[in-house]
Chains A and B, each alone.
Chain A
């Protein structure tokens, strides 16, 4: 006697079984594709992180150039050219350039040697303009720059700063979001410091404070991060906290820049 219903049930089971290998192979291939998609963005972020660390010494180079050539009239053109040159260099830069920034550090020790004379000089004159430091990211070199310049040259650097601000902000607009996204993925302190500096330059002090804080949490030995952190605090009206931060930082290090900034805050020249 035929039991068709049972036979149909058996047939259904057989069909389901026969499709299992197909389903598994599709699932496996989808998983492999998904893994590939995850892997590819990671490699992107690693590449761009290297790129950003290379940008740092380039801005420093711009500043040193302006320091060497303070002549009022041709300032605008040479700076633009310098930036253009630097962007070209940015493409060709090898990881060796990154080591070059580390090589620059001994020059800060040289600054230690002239610390006494320098701080005294700063206390006497203090002609530094806030927007200047905010537009340029390395405030240490700026301080030296301003001290060496006469009032006329300061005004010209302000003009050049305006130009420079425009150029860098254009780059920020296109890159900053991307840098934030990459920082969220890989927690690279170089990236968070970069973001903090950009926000500080843009006058978004709360954000610059946050990113500097994150940088300090990741790596406590980045001087620039402590400087930006303290500056942001001052801009947010937290003078006492900024001074306490710098004092506690100076207990562990001999940072000239931190010392200079502390003195400026204490004297009220940095607001």
Chain B
């Protein structure tokens, strides 16, 4: 049975974007509340940005889950790079229209004039840095017409900063930046995630030294932390089955954390 003990902990850290797995931390919680408040304001666009793995997609997903029962919300996890495909998808998901022919930008604007909503529909666009400049220009124009409100996420790189400046500088009324977790936040994140999945014993095995070691390796990046801990529990599972005498059941071993880091490529031995 002890084998499943680590195996179930391993499954907790599978890198999936699921709003049910969203962990509330003080700073993240404040940011999320700011995002929700911004959505209620008559803003045209809201920008959510940060380094990869800081939880942008998860927050966007959480927002979708929270708003979907209250108003019209559409979320696109993967970018629709083709302009016609993008406009057709919007017409279908917001107005319920399935155009058989090609839909151009003018036709879409004409279509949108026929529909009125109490709350302006919200479109959530993840990985917006992958959209073309031309399409981003169309998105800007749609938002200017106040027919649709956009919440977009961007990776914070030099290139994406330029995109943000060129297309959204004057139009974004709210921008929120997400950061990596501090060591204290990371400890809460790990323990909350484990406890949500009933892995209480394993959650208690993490002490400050372990978290410091993990934070040193992942710099508090949530995606990297998930990857590292998944590898860590894979190793623990192996030791449990093959060399159980090497496991200390009261604490997580920093040695095994470092071994997991070597295996995942965070440390180059």
Contacts and interface: CB of A to CB of B under 8 A. Distances in A.
Interface stretch (B67-75, B120-128, B199-207, B261-269): B261-269
Contacts of B234: 2
Contact of A14 (B238, B239, B242, B267): B267
Interface string A1-24: 010100110110111010000000
A17 B267 CA distance: 12
A16 to B, nearest CB: 10
Most buried by A among B238, B267, B269: B269
A7 B258 CA distance: 10
Contact of A2 (B238, B258, B267, B269): B238
B235 A14 contact: no
A2 B267 CA distance: 17
B176 interface: no
Contacts of A17: 269
B221 to A, nearest CB: 20
Contacts of A7: 235, 259, 262-263
A17 B258 CA distance: 13
Given A13-B269, A14-B269, A4 B238 contact: yes
A8 B269 contact: no
Contact of A11 (B238, B239, B242, B262): B262
Contact of B235 (A4, A10, A13, A15): A4
Interface string A33-51: 0000000000000000000
Contacts of A8: 259
B40 interface: no
A15 B242 CA distance: 24
Contacts of B238: 2, 4
Nearest to B267: A14
Interface in B230-263: 234-235, 238-239, 242, 255, 258-259, 262-263
Nearest to B238: A2
A11 B255 contact: yes
A123 to B, nearest CB: 94
Nearest to A8: B259
Contacts of A2: 234-235, 238
A11 B235 contact: no
A52 B258 CA distance: 65
B68 to A, nearest CB: 41
Contacts of B269: 10-11, 13-14, 17
Contacts of B239: 4
A234 B269 CA distance: 78
A15 B234 CA distance: 21
A14 B239 CA distance: 20
A229 B49 CA distance: 94
A7 B260 CA distance: 9
B216 to A, nearest CB: 11
A22 to B, nearest CB: 16
A28 B69 CA distance: 67
Contacts of A10: 259, 262, 269
Nearest to B242: A4
A4 B262 CA distance: 11
Contacts of B259: 7-8, 10-11
A11 B257 CA distance: 10
A13 B258 CA distance: 12
Contacts of B255: 11
Contacts of B235: 2, 4, 7
Across the A-B interface, give the 7 residue pairs with the lowest CB-CB distance, nearest first: A10-B269, A14-B269, A11-B259, A13-B269, A7-B259, A10-B262, A2-B238
27 contacts: A2-B234, A2-B235, A2-B238, A4-B235, A4-B238, A4-B239, A4-B242, A7-B235, A7-B259, A7-B262, A7-B263, A8-B259, A10-B259, A10-B262, A10-B269, A11-B255, A11-B258, A11-B259, A11-B262, A11-B269, A13-B269, A14-B258, A14-B262, A14-B267, A14-B269, A15-B258, A17-B269
Given A4-B242, A10-B269, A13-B269, 17 more contacts: A2-B234, A2-B235, A2-B238, A4-B239, A7-B235, A7-B259, A7-B262, A7-B263, A10-B259, A10-B262, A11-B255, A11-B258, A11-B259, A14-B262, A14-B267, A15-B258, A17-B269
